[in-house]
Amino acid sequence: MRKKTVLAAAFVAAAALTLSACGSSDDGAKKPVADVSVQAKTKAATVLDQPFTKPDLVLTDTHGKKYDLREQTKGKPTLIYFGYTHCPDICPLVMSNIAIAKKSLPKADQDKLQVVFVTTDPERDTPSSLDSWLKAQDPSFIGLTGDFPTIQAGARQIGIGVDAPKKEKDGTVVSMHGSQVIAFSPKTDQGYLVYGEDTSPDDYAKDLPEIIKGETP
């Protein structure tokens, strides 16, 4: 049985999503970037008291075609994650955990679930490179790229901070971005659940059947 912790109002006001230093040589320090109002915390997901509206994003998919996020995922259970393919740790782990969990679903549910990966490093993550990287995770995953300001603005619409990639002194390119996965309901098209980078495949596997039905795990 899942533990459900109701957060005090003062804590809710101070709650924040964070930026993760993917690919950095530092200690992975994080900083707050956006307030998010939460209703309760289950074992895996944070349930949002005020759900996010799906980002108004029109980008380019791995086939080089225009992809209207709102229109093409309308009425579908959708997981959205912002990251980049050159990340050595968090991004591939998050996507791999989702891919493992998705495979545990019945085929009909697998076909319904939309998993969208939006790059935070569009200069290097071209449609073709995104395609190759995501196919190694799950061929059905949707990869999107485009101009950085558009991507950054879209991420902010769901409370996720994204900084422009920068080159460190050692030549490493670092992309600072929030590492949360946002789940959107097929009933309302609103993002009502937030998952952290430490969410396991088992956690996702338990929750996905409910997400696909538009219910709260």
Q: How would you write 72-107 as a 3-class SS string?
A: HCCCCCEEEEEECCCCCCHHHHHHHHHHHHHHCCCH
Give the pair of three-digit tokens for residue 131: 């395609």
Confidence bin at 137 (pLDDT 50/70/90):
very high
* Interaxial angle between packed helices 201-212 and 90-103, expressed in degrees from 0 to 180 and rounded to the nearest 10: 60
Nearest to 86 by CA among 17, 24, 163, 162: 24
- What secondary structure does DSSP assign to 21-67, as a single string? EET-SS-----EEEE--EEEE-SSEEEEEEEEEPP--EEEETTS-EE
Task: Report in angstroms the alpha-carbon separations of 2 from 39, 125, 192.
Answer: 15, 38, 18
| pTM, 2 dp | 0.83
Confidence bin at 20 (pLDDT 50/70/90):
low
Q: Could you give the CA distance from residue 108 to residue 3 in angstroms, rounded to a whole number?
A: 30
Secondary structure percentages of the chain, helix, strand, coil, to 5: 30, 30, 40
Q: Is pLDDT above 70 for 17?
A: no
Q: What confidence tens digit (pLDDT) does each residue in 167-200 have? A: 887 878 778 899 999 999 999 999 999 999 999 9
Across residues 140-157, what is the average pLDDT? 97
**Which pLDDT value is given to residue 171?**
75
Q: Could you give the CA distance from residue 157 to residue 54 in angstroms, rounded to a whole number?
A: 8
Q: Is pLDDT above 50 for 205?
A: yes
Provide the sign of the torsion angle of the four alpha carbons 97, 103, 107, 111, taken in this order: positive
**Which pLDDT value is given to residue 132?**
97
Residue 108's DSSP bridge partners are none
